[in-house]
Homo-oligomer: A and B are copies of this chain.
Amino acid sequence: MSVRLSSPDDYSKLLDDYDTWMFDCDGVLWRGDHLIEGVVEVLDILRSRKKKVIFVTNNATKSRKSYKGKFDQLGVEAHVDEIYGSAYASAVYLSSVIKLPKSKKVYVIGMGGLEEELREEGIAFTGGTDPADNTLEPFTLANFTLDPDIAAVVCGLDTGVNYTKLSKAFQYLTRNSGCHFIATNEDSTYPSANGLLPGAGAISAPLRYALGRDPVCTGKPASTMLDCVKAKVNFDPKRTIMIGDRLNTDILFGQNGGLATLLVLTGITQEAEITGPNPSPIVPDFVTETLGDLRIVERGQ
């Protein structure tokens, strides 16, 4: 059973118990282009109490650098080294886990942010934003030359997805022996400013279906993302809390990593999903309406 936070003491205890605060962004700090009320004050409270603040996002269309622009635009303090994205996690997975040899390349279905993270990790790639592959012209294998150096296909959210990219990726995954199949994240939908659109999981779905094979996913809830954070920052999982709005990504991610979890109701999850007659099997430790609720600890003093 989740603890529903309500009194000033509930929130004060949270501040006492956790030194590292990991946040999902969309649905927690903002919704589309709208900042959620009280978020700036709550982050100020945490920083003033010397809490470590980390932002963990499955958004794979932006690099950490350009994702910081979103914080700046909304007036939320954040530093690039506090931001961990699923595109970065894929790049680190390729460089550190698979240890892709320098002579090998990656075929990208994804956008500039994913390419930027690959470039920063020194990984060569083709596809992605290359105009040659961003086309609706008919694709034929008669004009295709298999590049034997492609050793992995990485899929992120790509609003330029098309049959040429899918067909090329399919060739590499079926014809280059041992070719890795990686997805930045498996979110079924993407919360745009004006409503839900198909998410990164929908972009890798055609390959998943055609191949009858699932990709390795580096975004939440996979622990690959937490491994990236661990490689860069020291923190005690027992004194770390993950705050998110999605049970099957954020909360499960926290639980997979042995972290405490706090669900906020400003995003995709309705309270009925945890208290209703058919509750989710994923039960967060704590629940609160909005991150802004934490302001009560200052008001109460």
Interface size class of A (residues with CB under 8 A): 35 or more
CB distance A189 to B210 under 8 Å?
Answer: yes
Q: How far is the CA of A192 from the CA of B161 in the complex (A)?
A: 21
A148 within 8 A of B: no
A188 with B209: in contact, given A138-B159, A193-B142 (CB under 8 Å)?
yes
A284 within 8 A of B: no
- For A202, give its contact among B159, B196, B210 (CB under 8 Å): B210
- For A163, give its contact among B140, B160, B189, B210 (CB under 8 Å): B160
Stretch at the interface among A23-31, A77-85, A166-174: A166-174
Copies of this chain per assembly: 2
A205 within 8 A of B: yes
Contacts of A136 on B, CB cut-off 8 Å?
A: 134-136, 160, 162
Interface mask (A122-146 → B, CB under 8 Å = 1, otherwise 0): 0000000000001110111110000
CB distance B206 to A202 under 8 Å?
Answer: yes
CB distance A212 to B192 under 8 Å?
Answer: no
Chain B residue at minimal CB-CB distance from A203: B206
A194 within 8 A of B: yes
Chain B residue at minimal CB-CB distance from A174: B196
Closest Cβ of chain B: how far from A149's Cβ, in Å?
A: 20
Closest Cβ of chain B: how far from A174's Cβ, in Å?
A: 7
A201 within 8 A of B: yes
- For A159, give its contact among B139, B188, B197 (CB under 8 Å): B139
Closest Cβ of chain B: how far from A264's Cβ, in Å?
A: 23
Contacts of A139 on B, CB cut-off 8 Å?
A: 159, 197
- For A209, give its contact among B192, B196, B205 (CB under 8 Å): B205
Closest Cβ of chain B: how far from A68's Cβ, in Å?
A: 22
- Give the one of A142, A163, A211 with max B CB within 10 A: A163
CB distance A210 to B192 under 8 Å?
Answer: no
Chain B residue at minimal CB-CB distance from A188: B210
Contacts of A210 on B, CB cut-off 8 Å?
A: 188-189, 198-199, 201-202, 205
Q: How far is the CA of A51 from the CA of B140 in the complex (A)?
A: 38
- For A207, give its contact among B134, B140, B198, B211 (CB under 8 Å): B198
Which 4 pairs between the two chains have the least Cβ-Cβ distance?
A141-B194, A202-B206, A205-B209, A205-B205
17 A-B pairs within 8 Å (CB atoms) are namely A138-B159, A139-B159, A139-B197, A140-B194, A141-B192, A141-B195, A160-B162, A166-B202, A167-B197, A170-B196, A189-B210, A198-B209, A199-B210, A202-B207, A203-B206, A205-B208, A206-B206
Taking beta carbons and an 8 Å cutoff, which residues of A are in contact with B? 134-136, 138-142, 158-163, 166-167, 170-171, 174, 188-189, 192-199, 201-203, 205-212
